[in-house]
Amino acid sequence: MRISRLHYITQDNIPGYTHAQLAEEACKGGADWVQLRVKGKGTSEWKKIAEETLAVCQKYNAKLIINDNVRIAKEIGADGVHLGNDDMHPEEAREKLGEKFIIGGTANTFFHLESKFRFADYIGLGPFRFTSTKEKLSPVLGAEGYKQILSSCKSSGIDIPIIAIGGIKEDDLDGIFQTGIYGVAIASIVNAAENKAAAMKNFIQRLEKVSLQ
């Protein structure tokens, strides 16, 4: 299974848009990978949101990854889960979900990455810079932080696609990919735009111009 180089993430409280509508705009703009990031909702409301978003992703043939909630991901038949510090351990998730499910995680340090996510399918590493999208933000890594962590991965034989996340804008792409990163994840640059589909399309065009290794 191929991990996309561009992960689009939905957000709560975007005026006038549900998560499914955000996903639809992103997919119209060319997104092929959507992470549903819902916070503070009870299971039944969350599951309904996940089902609506899955229908959109299926229409556009995009992958749907559910943030935090292994049970909902399994019940609705999503493509994967994204697990952070407070979520189920990825190895337990693998047992529950089987080999075909995509399991990703968030890390901030090399130690965290290798101790917890060695067997994940991809790792979101960040934040690249400060962002107000996430509460309780870990220390900012910047390009230097990525270089160091990617070099530790190389010397330890860890070969997992690493996705940069946190405050990423088009003008950051050259510098980020120079670190050897595999891909990037974005939320507010699309979600805060007036025309979200156009913002996604523009971001993809800029990403395609960056020489990938």
User: Which is closer to ligand TZP, CB of 69 or CB of 106?
Assistant: 106
Closer CB to ligand TZP, 97 or 107, in the complex: 107
To the question of whether residue 39 is assigned a binding role by annotation, the answer is yes
- Does 127 sit near ligand TZP (CB under 6 A)? yes
Stretch that binds Mg ion, among 46-54, 56-64, 76-84, 146-154 (CB under 5 A): 76-84
According to CB under 6 A, which one of 133, 145, 150, 177 is a site residue for ligand TZP? 133
Q: What is the 3-state secondary structure (H, E, C) of the chain?
A: CCCCCEEEECCCCCCCCCHHHHHHHHHHCCCCEEEECCCCCCHHHHHHHHHHHHHHHHHCCCEEEEECCHHHHHHHCCCEEEECCCCCCHHHHHHHHCCCCEEEEEECCHHHHHHHCCCCCEEEECCCCCCCCCCCCCCCCHHHHHHHHHHHHHHCCCCCCEEEECCCCHHHHHHHHHCCCCEEEECHHHHCCCCHHHHHHHHHHHHHHCCCC
When asked if residue 165 is in the footprint of ligand TZP (CB under 6 A), the reply is: yes
Q: Report the partner that residue 35 touches, choosing among Mg ion, ligand TZP, none (CB closer than 5 to 8 A by kind).
A: none
Reading the block at residue 58, the tokens are 């299926």
Interface with Mg ion (CB under 5 A), residue total 3
Q: Judged by CB, which is closer to ligand TZP: 80, or 126?
A: 126
Per CB under 5 A, the segment of 55-63, 67-75, 145-153, 162-170 that binds Mg ion is: 67-75
Candidate residues 167, 179, 203, 207; the one interacting with ligand TZP per rule CB under 6 A: 167
187 binds ligand TZP (CB under 6 A): yes
User: Where would I find the beta strands (DSSP E) of 68-121?
Assistant: 80-83, 102-107
> Near ligand TZP by CB under 6 A, which window of 38-46, 146-154, 165-173, 196-204?
165-173
Contact positions vs ligand TZP (CB under 6 A)? 9, 106, 126-127, 131, 133-134, 165-168, 186-189
